[in-house]
A and B are shown apart, each in its own frame.
Chain A
């Protein structure tokens, strides 16, 4: 880490450059969002938002993204705990593997899911034997969302758990608390803000999932057509409907981020990851 430069002309210049660059980036990020909001007049927007087709997509999006988040939290806590507290061979590899979906193009994830869980996929025969066919179902939407969104929760939770002060763990051990009891009663409550932030980011990522979904689950209103798919399809025939849906998604995403900030001001995933990295 570098220290802040001494006050003087160089420092002032740095400040000006930094402020300028920040203004450019903030403007760049904010401009398209403003354009979305400004495109459709509020009355028209509300009318559009009550469109049954949109409500159907919204309902499906909410159900699948919440289901995906529940699955990720249930399966993510154990592995986050392992990564935070244990050292074992292959740990680095496992970490990379778990974080890979964050950077993998979602379409690639979708093709992989098809070849794995599709009817003709590697696990297709086994799934078929128990009467499950995944592609083109709502289940496929949830599977795609879990795949792409899980890393966000695992990373944040792992960072939160590894920040728990070891003295608490020593104290718990002295009191003969079992490791699972320590996890449930000491670590998880202390790391709760990280869990919350991770779950929120996972939910938001699941809500926005597009590429893996359209590849693996297809596009069927009421079954697999989530909001992002509905936006994409509407864009090809009814621009204003697409904009109305986009504004709604924007508001939802913004709401989640704000809620996380208010609930855990210091602990957005970015903050958690940055601090974990600086250790």
Chain B
């Protein structure tokens, strides 16, 4: 009997913080966002809560494909921001996001190599050298799809050796499930090179990495759509977050993190 009373007491103790939260209006917007948005959105979060009556923001960053499946399986999200239109479309077809998704930002790919540059990669042509350990996103991940497109485009450029595309793809040693895992493996210098978004070369990782730019004509323009998730219990606050992202102020923050504001590019 003593035991039982202890259990009851313990559960009451555990429950009390939750109840305290329940007493105040719980206004938390849950944003599911592509991993490549991590740094930029983390800066936008406090800006929303800083607004008058602003809600707190909670983020779930992962590969867009993973987030889309989580939402499909009933995860409670208020806003979905994807790194490509494929996964936004996936949810739109299932009527799981409402209104028209808006493209809010663009991104470009770059190739990153560790500062130590063990494979001595100086030019994009070097990615086809035998034995280069290249890490890319898996095909289901937006960055993985974009990477394959960019490699094909590069292969068609003058000056690139015949069979460039196949040789580069044959050098892939790992297909990661989100772009941040690609960054991590190059940052640790376990991989010789990786394809990531320009915005992934953040201040924290830049000192470990060298960047090889991909010319615009061979690059892809990644388009990021954002939408309020259907049935969001927090629709008003969710829309406020989307508005913030689209606002001049929000776009400035995104641009500061290496993303291309939606209005600025073709």
List chain A positions with a Cβ less than 8 A from chain B: 114, 118-120, 135-136, 214, 217-221, 223-224, 232-233, 235-237, 239
Secondary structure of the B side of the interface? loop
A236:B174 contact, CB within 8 angstroms: no
Q: A136-B133, A220-B175, A233-B138 given; name 16 further pairs at CB < 8 Å.
A: A114-B188, A119-B189, A119-B190, A120-B116, A136-B191, A217-B174, A218-B174, A218-B175, A220-B172, A220-B174, A232-B177, A235-B69, A236-B66, A236-B138, A236-B177, A237-B140
Q: List chain A residues, Cβ under 8 A from B116.
A: 120
B188:A118 contact, CB within 8 angstroms: yes
B68 CB, nearest partner CB in chain A, Å: 8
Q: Which of B165-197 contact A (CB under 8 A)?
A: 172-177, 185, 188-191
Q: List chain B residues, Cβ under 8 A from A219.
A: 138, 174-177
Q: List chain B residues, Cβ under 8 A from A235.
A: 69
Known interface pairs A136-B133, A235-B69, A236-B69; A114-B177 also in contact (CB < 8 Å): no
B140:A233 contact, CB within 8 angstroms: yes
**Is there a chain A Cβ closer than 8 Å to B225's Cβ?**
no
B190:A239 contact, CB within 8 angstroms: no
B94 CB, nearest partner CB in chain A, Å: 13
A271 CB, nearest partner CB in chain B, Å: 26
Q: List chain A residues, Cβ under 8 A from B69.
A: 235-236, 239
B14 CB, nearest partner CB in chain A, Å: 19
Q: List chain A residues, Cβ under 8 A from B140.
A: 233, 236-237
**Is there a chain A Cβ closer than 8 Å to B65's Cβ?**
yes
- Per CB-CB distance, the 4 closest pairs between chain A and chain B, nearest first, are A218-B174, A136-B173, A237-B140, A236-B65
By size class, the interface of chain B is 20 to 34
Q: List chain A residues, Cβ under 8 A from B174.
A: 136, 217-220, 224
Q: List chain B residues, Cβ under 8 A from A223.
A: 173
Q: List chain B residues, Cβ under 8 A from A135.
A: 185, 190
**Is there a chain A Cβ closer than 8 Å to B63's Cβ?**
yes
Residue of A nearest to B192 (CB): A119
Residue of A nearest to B140 (CB): A237
A243 CB, nearest partner CB in chain B, Å: 12
Q: List chain A residues, Cβ under 8 A from B175.
A: 218-221, 233
B174 CB, nearest partner CB in chain A, Å: 3
**Is there a chain A Cβ closer than 8 Å to B50's Cβ?**
no
Q: List chain B residues, Cβ under 8 A from A218.
A: 135, 173-176, 185
Q: Which of the listed residues B69, B141, B190 has the most CB atoms from chain A within 10 Å of its own CB?
A: B190
A114:B66 contact, CB within 8 angstroms: no
**Is there a chain A Cβ closer than 8 Å to B118's Cβ?**
yes
Complex alpha-carbon distance, A223 and B170, angstroms: 13
Q: Which of the listed residues A218, A220, A223, A239 has the most CB atoms from chain B within 10 Å of its own CB?
A: A218
B148 CB, nearest partner CB in chain A, Å: 15
Complex alpha-carbon distance, A239 and B69, angstroms: 9
Q: List chain A residues, Cβ under 8 A from B138.
A: 219, 233, 236
B105 CB, nearest partner CB in chain A, Å: 23
Residue of B nearest to A238 (CB): B140
Complex alpha-carbon distance, A235 and B190, angstroms: 27
Q: Which of B15-73 contact A (CB under 8 A)?
A: 63, 65-66, 69
Q: List chain A residues, Cβ under 8 A from B133.
A: 136
Complex alpha-carbon distance, A149 and B21, angstroms: 42
Q: List chain A residues, Cβ under 8 A from B135.
A: 218
Q: List chain A residues, Cβ under 8 A from B118.
A: 119
Q: Which of the listed residues A118, A218, A236 has the most CB atoms from chain B within 10 Å of its own CB?
A: A236
B114 CB, nearest partner CB in chain A, Å: 8
Q: List chain B residues, Cβ under 8 A from A237.
A: 65, 140
Q: List chain A residues, Cβ under 8 A from B188.
A: 114, 118, 120
Complex alpha-carbon distance, A214 and B181, angstroms: 10
Interface residue from B63, B172, B185, B189 paired with A236 (Cβ < 8 Å)? B63
Residue of A nearest to B175 (CB): A219
Q: List chain B residues, Cβ under 8 A from A120.
A: 116, 188-190
A73 CB, nearest partner CB in chain B, Å: 29
